[in-house]
């Protein structure tokens, strides 16, 4: 089923020069295309909307600080089963549990700085796309 998903390449990906590597992995999937892409440093209001469900959790404040620490790349990726598919490419949230061949398994070591965010459902995808790309 064709879908759209919101992907963020986090500030660690930008700092470490991994943007090209990660986008390349996404781009090579048959039938997936990039529908929007932007490099920007996120403000508090945007982060509060995006991570509102995690408010009050112990990792919330350090996560907000990390996510504002440098530019991120926001993308809309579209194509067949792209929501589940990008999450499979990303690997588990904790990079130590993420398999080899996944983005987090290959390049990350700690849970906060896990390089990539990808929407987890169609509802999240539409909500998150509206935050980052309100005109689409």
* Strand 72-80 relative to strand 33-40, pairing: antiparallel
Contacts of ligand CMP in 73-112 (CB under 6 A): 93, 111-112
Considering the rule CB under 6 A, would residue 124 count as an interface residue with ligand CMP? no
Q: How near is the Cβ of 132 to ligand CMP at its closest, in Å?
A: 13
Considering the rule CB under 6 A, would residue 127 count as an interface residue with ligand CMP? no
Q: Please state, in angstroms and rounded to a whole number, the distance separating the CA atoms of residues 18 and 60.
A: 24
* Strand 116-118 relative to strand 72-80, pairing: unpaired
Considering the rule CB under 6 A, would residue 63 count as an interface residue with ligand CMP? yes
Q: Which is nearer to ligand CMP, 31 or 120 (CB)?
A: 120
Q: How near is the Cβ of 111 to ligand CMP at its closest, in Å?
A: 4
Question: Which run of H or of E encompasses 20?
Answer: helix 19-27
Asked if 72 and 8 touch (Cβ cutoff 8 Å), the reply is yes
Is 117 labeled as catalytic in the residue annotation?
yes
Q: Please state, in angstroms and rounded to a whole number, the distance separating the CA atoms of residues 42 and 40.
A: 6
Considering the rule CB under 6 A, would residue 69 count as an interface residue with ligand CMP? no
Considering the rule CB under 6 A, would residue 59 count as an interface residue with ligand CMP? yes
Report, in this order, helix, strand and coil percent for the chain, each rounded to 5: 45, 20, 35
Q: Which of 104, 117, 125, 132 is catalytic?
A: 117
Binding site for ligand CMP (CB under 6 A): 59, 63, 93, 111-112, 114, 117
């Amino acid at each position: 089923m064709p879908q759209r998903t919101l992907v963020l390449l986090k500030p660690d990906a930008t700092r470490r020069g991994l943007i090209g590597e990660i986008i390349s992995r996404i781009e090579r999937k048959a039938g997936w295309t990039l529908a929007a892409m932007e490099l920007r440093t996120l403000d508090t209001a945007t982060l509060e909307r995006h991570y509102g469900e995690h408010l009050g959790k112990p990792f919330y404040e350090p996560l907000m600080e990390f996510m504002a620490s440098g530019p991120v790349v926001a993308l809309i990726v579209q194509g067949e089963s792209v929501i589940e598919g990008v999450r499979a490419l990303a690997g588990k949230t904790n990079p130590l549990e993420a398999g080899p061949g996944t983005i987090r398994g290959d390049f990350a070591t700690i849970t906060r700085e896990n390089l990539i965010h990808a929407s987890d459902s169609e509802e999240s995808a539409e909500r998150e796309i509206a935050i980052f790309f309100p005109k689409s």
